[in-house]
Structure 1
Amino acid sequence: MTVSDKAKVLGCLKSIEELGFDTPRVEFRQIEGKLWEIKIRTKAAGYRFFYIILRKSKLVVLHAYKKQSQKAPIKEIEIATNRQKEIEKNEANYFE
């Protein structure tokens, strides 16, 4: 990831933290069940972040990858769903 891409991605994630789902230039898409995707485009590439919402206000990023194709690859979704299961199973250990 280039320095400018890092700056843009971090800026977008900070905007999501401050503005929520009204953040401009960022797309949100439901993958399956509670699993969602954040889409961030930069000049050089597109980046995807899988996340879930816990306790109605905690956005937990499970996995991120650089976009290579139109659809989210199955292996990337599997990584995110495995992490989702682990966090949901042990949620009390992650959050007070």
Structure 2
Amino acid sequence: MTYSDHKIVLKTTHSVLKLIGYFWICNLTDNSWGFGIGEKIDHMTFITISDGPLSGVGSFCLITFNDLPDLFKDSLLELENVELETKTYRNHE
């Protein structure tokens, strides 16, 4: 899913939520292994990543915390909470 695709999804998601429904989103960030590797096809979106756990599995949008206001600005959704969760690839084996 590209950055542009994310914006479309966020803009239209409200139409399928209950009136006070919640929507969770989980994204990989620009600190992920694979950022900047491969061909850039959209803002923060890469394909043909050749190294790491994202290699050979399609396109990935690796966003920054600063991208969030732009992603949500055209949607009717309110960005309520942002949490950072860190995991390692194969526990750094």
Greater share of residues in strand: 1
Q: TM-score, normalised by structure 1?
A: 0.30
Q: Between the two structures, name the one with larger relative contact order (CA 8 Å, sep ≥ 6).
A: 2
Higher-Rg member (1/2): 2
Q: TM-score, normalised by structure 2?
A: 0.30
